[in-house]
Structure 1
Amino acid sequence: MSDPGITSSALEEKLHLSRRQLGYSLGKINDWLMGLNLPVIERTRQGHFVIDQSVFSELNEDMENTVSATDTIILTEDQRVQLIIMMILSSEEELSLNHFTYELKVSKNTILNDLKKAQAFLEDYDLNIRYTRKYGYLIEGKEFQVRKLLMYITYLILQMSNGENRLKDLADIRNEQIDEFTDRLEQVENQLNLKFTDEKMKTMPYILILIQRRIKRGYTINSISIEYEELSDTKEYKATEELLYDMKDIPVSDRLFITLHLLTANVFSSEMAEDEVPNLVPAIDNMLRQFEKSACIYLQDREQLMEKLLQHIKPAYYRIKYQLTDTILFKGTLSQEFKEMHLLVKRSVGLLEQLIGSEIPDNETAYITMLIGGWMNKHGESIDKKVKAVVVCPQGVSVSRLMFNELRKLFPEFVFLDFLSVREFMNYTLDYDVVFSSTYLETDKKLFVTKVFLGREEKYRLRKQVMLGLYGYTPNEINVNRLLEIISNHADINNERALKQELTEYFDKDEDTAFVKQNITNKSMNLDDLIVPDNITLMDSASSWEEAFRKSAEPLVDSGKIEPHYVDEMIHYCKRDSYIVIGPNIAIPHAAPDDGANEVGMSLLRLKEGVQYTNDYKINLIITISAVDKQQHIHALMQLMNLAGSEMDKNKMIKADKIEEIYKIIQLYSKN
């Protein structure tokens, strides 16, 4: 900031840094700037730095104070509460108020207030903080709940700034202990033929050390709801035995808990037998089938998707069954395009919930939604002469997949080869040009550090930063007048004014291409946009359901939205499966997009007397759907689902004498 004109090479020479070290350092600076909600420092291809004026305005007044202020990180109230809980859980000596005030550097009154907050935090676990003169501060309650709390608090502290060092100091954990358990876990990976996520590999050694410590202090799990028969035959139980090979004094119930911890851990990749959890594969298959039915789509390469889902849902099965889902955090919120899909997924998991024996929490269905949504967005691309990119994320396969797909949309001109954990990235053999990562990495390639979830402005900044880093310019830096001079030196220009206007439009458009395309693709269509009055047909009866379905589809055929053979395929599907019935008296026949769907659309046939469809259903309302992709019709479909749930409004439609009466009800549901 004191010398904005300095170049990269001059900085490297002055500070004795390599090119890679300077890039890494600048990345750290940009991460700090983003933490202050300030624009990042960009670099041109010529090695100059581009610093936004707001950075100067915000920081230039007193650089000395700014720098010194960042050296000391002030803990928030929530962070102090988490550290107090960890101190009580991990300490091998009696704790008093003085211990807390010394470690956290706050007053006794502040600590007393924090202890009240800590007690409120523990209420969700049915645990209590108690103080006695003899034993100091203790956490009392069922040990299974204490272990859940321990796992969650460990995770939270490791997310703090300098979290690992804080945890080691507070809990008196030595580096040798961490290294020992890390080595043992890597052996478990080899034995189980899987790879834990980077996040899990970072967290598990601390958890295992602290559990071992509690067991030595006499805190063992006596009464537990873990089913011995269910876990003792798993390969994870055998791996636990290997993990604890020299710790013979650990009781069986605690070995089962550690087995459960391994079973619930997110993995990046694994090979598993389908019969490891009986009936899990049929339950996942049923979930996909229900999702396809709800979303009016047909998933491609279904078997491969089943394998991916099995890999994620197996640990989720144990997490949900034994109420350990609060140890797995879902960072951020689902993007808009996934929200409605998430609702459909939640409607499709009935058999899975039945198998587990409890409701599946939102954070787990969100991961499943991202897996299915990522699969739906998958498409092939030629990688010849294109920028090749990889995405690195330590948070697990589901979040990595989401990040991968978001970046693919933001940079449609790049070929995205793979999404990787940090450890996989270190040994990655394919050739690539660019790395997008949610964490800093040592690499000779172009590295762009980005958050997993990006807002519109953040996407704009990232795209601008990447284009500047790769090509040395952003479109708005191009001087069109100079470009015209160059062209006129080598060619005759018939209409200079028109050429200048077209070039200006082209370069201005380039910068926002990703957003324009996204907005068009993701435009939500309401039910009344698709079922318009011209697409509504009123009849009293039909001789067969086949005739009724053909009659329902006529407006879409006449308008060219579907080909005539689409109707034949639709009836063919309906003969094999009654999945089209979405509620009493209402059905949504449809075929696959490649069966002759030209444009998204819906048409409705009302039969006053109804028609028999199979032995189980009588249908009065038939809505034919043409879905050309997997997104455009979803919003309208959700509105239709809401309508299907109202007996009163369905009956009004069935009894209606005029198309306008039906359309008015459709408009009512299109507002939601």
Structure 2
Amino acid sequence: MSLDDRSKRILDELVSNPSITSMALEKKYDLTRRQLGYSFNKINEWLMTKSLPVIERTRKGHFIIEQCVFTKLNGEERSPALETTVLSENQRVYLIIMMLLSSEEELSLHHFTIELDVSKNTILSDMKRVQTELNDYELTIRYTRKAGYLLEGKEFQIRKLLIHVTYQLLQVHSGQNKIKELANIETDQLHEFNKRIENVESKLNLKFTDEKLATMPYILILILRRIEQGNEINSFSIEYEELSDTKEYQATEEIFHDARQIPVEERLFITLHLLTTNVYWSEYLTDDDAIPRLVPAIDNMLRLFEKSACIYLQDREQLMNKLLQHIKPAYYRIKYQLTETMDMQDSLNKEFKELHHLVKRSTGPLKDLIGNDIPESETTYITMLIGGWMTKQGDSIEKKIKAIVVCPQGVSVSRLMFTELRELFPGFVFLDSLSVREFLDYGLDYDIVFSPTSLETDKKLFISNAFLGHEEKYRLRKQVMLELHGYIPRDINVDHLLDIIRNNAVIKNEKTLTEDLQKYIDRDEEASVKQPMKTRDINLNDLIPANHITIRNSVESWEEAIHVSAKPLVEGGKIEPEYVDAMIRRTGEDPYIVIGPNIAIPHAAPEEGVNEVGMSLLRLEEGVNFTKDYSINLVIVIAAVDKHQHIHALMQLMKLAGSETDRNHVISADSVEEIQKMIALYSVD
């Protein structure tokens, strides 16, 4: 074992001045009787490890030291004290927190000044920074003359802080020594817990990452110390059923085998720590029993990413396994708010910043499964994994055209424009739909801008209407392709295409491939922007006839408004009752449901109960509150069977919503006929 800094100072004082009394020592080093007793016991334990006689203390506070102690200590080179390198402010903050977390005795201000070798004023200043750090964990520092400095707050939050601070200290130079000194952790203890963790790895058939393997012994020792001191987790939100059947829960037996009876909550916390610890290999990674639906959620996330990034990820099964290694422990970290609060953004290179943006936009399936937002540090790590995989397969979004959509006409119009353009240019990476104000402060790299209004930009700007007809789509596509590539889509030579394909793939039937390519190139000029065998567009008044319009003075709630508005569609068999429930369920999730002042369009997915395309309208004289921000007078239920049939009528509805005069005319209408006339004005091609 080794002596802490204070105990070394006291031993040096006793050897050089053996006539000093206990009271004089307490006064000289600003110690309480208990603190001096603690150090005195440590000194005697250390002497016994050196096969030296212990120092005795008389009732009057004098010390009896045998000659061999003087001879031995004066004759050998003294151990160096705690490193005297100058510590940064952040390092001192973490060291102070470590002392507060791990001390087995009361802590005075003088205690901190001795251990960190700085002035009292510096420590008092550092304490303010410590409290700032603690605010993130809803913890506070309390000081009393009797108990010294203590941490106050929920033990679960203290454990989160302990894990974070231990990790941070182990990253600095000689961090292991600093923790051992300040927390009084013996090397033998660390060796013992390393053995236990190795046994856990064996039982779980996995290997922890080197970084986690280095951190875990310290964390487990300090957690057990807090338990022994009576600092136990009382109320805990961990689901017993979710963790008690895991292999990690059984592995806690190895960690606790020589401890006193450990409460279930503590076993669950250690289980959670094992589950949240990153691994680089596991035999059971694809075992779905522990986290049902995790694999499908990751698969859906990858599909959304591929669509956004316009790429195809090769060797998908290997990539899935690699992602599982990170996301399986991340699942528990995110669910129980144990994600390490470290900023990894700076570790992303320029290209990965755009990639990270696309990954964040694709994590919806994980968020739905876990029930919490995915923290930045977790999405950043997923980005690095996917980005590394793309680099390995020779792919990059840097090689692709990156576009943004800037629309001043509101979030719903902007979103609709974004969707339309992404379908029109499937080879482009569309990063965002933005307002003009957001565009001015946009930080990601892009190549082209689509907007219905002129903008000041050094990038290529294409002016496009918010609502595009078929001819407008064709002209825009032709203009963009000609300016970016020097050709329009139909000016493609089949022979040149075949040469490219031969160089990169094996062609099984060249004749059939040539015919299929030629058919695709020679299709109708508008085929790239519309479905083949296209039927007549459905207008707004086709979908909202008189019997689909309801006029009411008021309703009690937003939910009732959806029921009343949808009633004609249910009675007409166009939707099932469960579609109404789905709309209500989705209302809180979809910020795009409000498309303008006083007007909203509740809807759900076609597979949730739509039999036939249709719309229905409810006009309320007295608006109904949709959240605290919106009061709605017009509720138009949309039942779509696909992405196409209703879109023409929806564009007409958006134009009506964009006209304040005509929108207010509908809201103040006294009859169904009056509303019909206004709808008819917008139901023209």
TM-score of the superposed pair, with normalisation by structure 1: 0.51
Residue aligning to 1:347: 361
Taking the aligned partners of 2:270 and 2:493, their CA distance within structure 1 comes to 57
Q: Secondary structure at the match of 2:362?
A: coil
User: CA 1:100 to 1:116, structure 2 compared with 1: closer, same or farther past 3 Å?
Assistant: same
Q: Partners of 1:247 and 1:120 in 2: how far apart?
A: 35
Among 210, 224, 237, the residue aligned to 1:225 = 237
Residue 271 of structure 1: CA displacement?
Answer: 2.2
Aligned equivalent of 1:84, options 96, 100, 118: 96
Match of 1:526 in 2: 448
Amino acid at match of 1:560: I
| Count of aligned residue pairs for this structure pair | 388
- Structure 1: distance between partners of 2:293 and 2:376: 22
Aligned to 2:641: 615
Cα distance in 2 for partners of 1:562, 1:109 equals: 79
CA distance in 2, matches of 1:162, 1:151: 18
The one of 540, 552, 560 aligned to 2:492: 560
Deviation at 1:119, TM superposition (A): 1.3
1:563 Cα offset (Å): 8.6
Distance 1:619 1:530 in 2: 33
- Alpha-carbon distance in 2 for matches of 1:207, 1:561: 65
Shift in Å, 1:177: 0.4
* Counterpart for residue 47 of structure 1: none
> Does the CA-based 8 Å contact 2:448-2:462 persist in structure 1?
no
Relative to structure 1, the CA distance from residue 176 to residue 327 in structure 2 (aligned partners, 3 Å threshold; closer, same or farther) is farther
Offset, 1:560: 3.3
**Aligned equivalent of 1:280:** 294
Structure 2 counterpart of 1:131, from 111, 121, 143: 143
Q: Following the alignment from structure 2 to structure 1, what is the Cα–Cα distance between the partners of residues 181 and 320?
A: 44
Please give the root-mean-square deviation of Cα atoms over the aligned residues, in Å: 4.6
Q: CA deviation at 1:248?
A: 4.0
- The answer to whether 1:195 aligns with 2:221 is no
CA–CA separation in structure 2 for the residues paired with 1:110 and 1:130? 18
Contact 2:314 2:393 in 1 (8 A): no
Map 1:497-516; keep pairs closer than 5 Å: none
1:266 aligned to which of 255, 278, 284 = 278
Partner of residue 339 from structure 2, selected from 302, 322, 325? 325
User: Equivalent residue for 2:128?
Assistant: 116
1:605, 1:621 within 8 Å by CA — same for their partners in 2? no
Distance of 2:493 and 2:98 partners within structure 1: 62
Higher mean alpha-carbon deviation, 321-330 vs 203-212, is at 321-330
Q: Does 1:181 align with 2:193?
A: yes
Indicate if the aligned counterparts of 1:539 and 1:605 stay in contact, CA closer than 8 A.
no
The gaps in structure 1 that reach 5 residues or longer are: 1-70, 381-401, 403-521, 570-594, 598-602, 623-643, 653-672
Gap change, CA 1:114 and 1:604, over 3 Å in 2:
farther
Q: Tell me the equivalent position of 1:335.
A: 349
Q: Does 1:370 align with 2:384?
A: yes
Would the alpha carbon gap of residues 286 and 184 (structure 1) be closer, same or farther in structure 2, given more than 3 Å must change?
A: same
1:331 is displaced (CA, Å) by 7.3
Aligned to 1:95: 107
**Amino acid corresponding to residue 170 of structure 2 in structure 1:** L
The Cα shift of 1:303 comes to: 1.7
Deviation, 1:610, is 6.1
2:341–2:377 contact (8 Å) kept in structure 1: no
* AA at the equivalent of 2:357: L
Q: Cα distance, 1:223 vs. partner?
A: 0.3
Residues 93, 129 of structure 2: 8 Å contact kept:
yes
Alignment of 1:251 onto 2:263: yes
Bigger Rg, which one: 2
What are the within-5 Å matches in structure 2 for residues 227-626 of structure 1? 227-272=239-284, 273-326=287-340, 330=344, 332-379=346-393, 525-527=447-449, 540=470, 556-560=488-492, 605=529, 615-618=641-644
In 2, the alpha carbon distance for the partners of 1:596 and 1:158 equals 61
How much does 1:276 deviate? 1.9
Q: Could you say if the C-alpha distance between residues 332 and 132 of structure 1 is closer, same or farther in structure 2, counting changes exceeding 3 Å? A: same
Equivalents in 1 of 2:152, 2:494: separation in Å?
66
User: How far is the alpha carbon of 1:302 from its aligned partner?
Assistant: 1.4
Q: Classify 1:348/1:100 alpha carbon distance in 2 versus 1 (closer, same or farther; 3 Å).
A: same
Deviation for aligned residue 1:192: 1.3
| 1:619-671 CA-partner distances (Å, limit 9, x unpaired) | 8999xxxxxxxxxxxxxxxxxxxxx9xx89x999xxxxxxxxxxxxxxxxxxx
| Matched-pair contact (CA < 8 Å) for 1:557–1:563 | no
Which amino acid is 1:177 matched to? Q
Deviation sequence 1:25-84 (CA, Å, 0-9, x none): xxxxxxxxxxxxxxxxxxxxxxxxxxxxxxxxxxxxxxxxxxxxxx95211122111111
**Is residue 117 of structure 2 the alignment partner of residue 105 of structure 1?**
yes
Q: Give the Cα–Cα distance (whole angstroms) in 2 for the partners of residues 310 and 610 of structure 1.
A: 46
Q: Which amino acid aligns with 1:335?
A: N
Letter in 1 for 2:154: K
- For 1:109-129, what per-residue CA distance to the aligned partner results, in whole angstroms no more than 9, with x for missing partners? 111111122112111111111
**Contact kept? 1:82, 1:153, Cα under 8 Å:** yes
Deviation at 1:565, TM superposition (A): 8.8
Residue matched to 1:162: 174
Against the structure 1 CA distance between its residues 300 and 284, is the aligned structure 2 distance closer, same or farther, given a 3 Å change threshold? same
* Higher RCO (CA 8 Å, separation ≥ 6 residues): 1
Residues 547-589 of structure 1: per-residue CA shift (max 9 Å, x gap): x9999999643343999999xx9xxxxxxxxxxxxxxxxxxxx
After superposition, what is the alpha-carbon deviation per residue over 1:194-230, rounded to whole angstroms, capped at 9, x for unaligned?
1111111111100000000000000000101111110
Q: For 1:166 and 1:230, how far apart are their aligned partners in 2? A: 37
Give the AA of the match of 1:333: S
Structure 2 residue identity aligned to 1:278: P
Amino acid aligned to 2:162: L
CA distance in 2, matches of 1:109, 1:523: 47
Task: Output one character per residue of 1:308-366: Cα deviation in whole Å (capped at 9) or x when no partner.
Answer: 11111000000001111126663733111111111111111112101111100111011
Contact 1:129 1:139 (C-alpha < 8 Å) held by counterparts: yes
Corresponding residue for 1:215?
Answer: 227
Q: Is the Cα contact below 8 Å between 1:119 and 1:128 reproduced in 2?
A: yes
Aligned match of 2:635: none
Matched, 1:204 2:187: no
Instruction: Quote the offset at 1:377 in angstroms.
Output: 1.6
Is this contact kept in 1: 2:462–2:480, CA < 8 A? no
Distance, in Å, in 2 between the alignment partners of 1:99 and 1:284 is 50
Shift of 1:85: 1.0
Task: Find the residue that maps to 2:200 and give its secondary structure.
Answer: helix
AA matched with 2:336: Y
Whole-angstrom CA distance in 2 between matches of 1:533 and 1:238: 63
- Tell me the amino acid that sits aligned with residue 321 of structure 1: K
Cα distance in 1 for partners of 2:341, 2:248 equals: 19
Alpha-carbon distance between aligned partners in 1 of 2:319 and 2:491, rounded to the nearest angstrom? 35
Separation (CA, whole Å) in 2 of partners of 1:271 and 1:145: 32
Whether the aligned pair in 1 keeps the contact of 2:478 and 2:488 (CA below 8 Å) is: no
Question: SS at 2:277's partner residue?
Answer: coil
State how far apart, in whole Å, the 2-side matches of 1:109 and 1:297 are: 58
* Equivalent position SS for 2:340: helix
Aligned-partner Cα distance in 2 for 1:651–1:298: 39
Distance in structure 2 (CA, Å) of the matches to 1:145 and 1:289: 36
Q: Does the residue aligned with 2:392 lie in a helix, a strand or coil?
A: coil
Which residue pairs with 1:17 in the alignment?
Answer: none
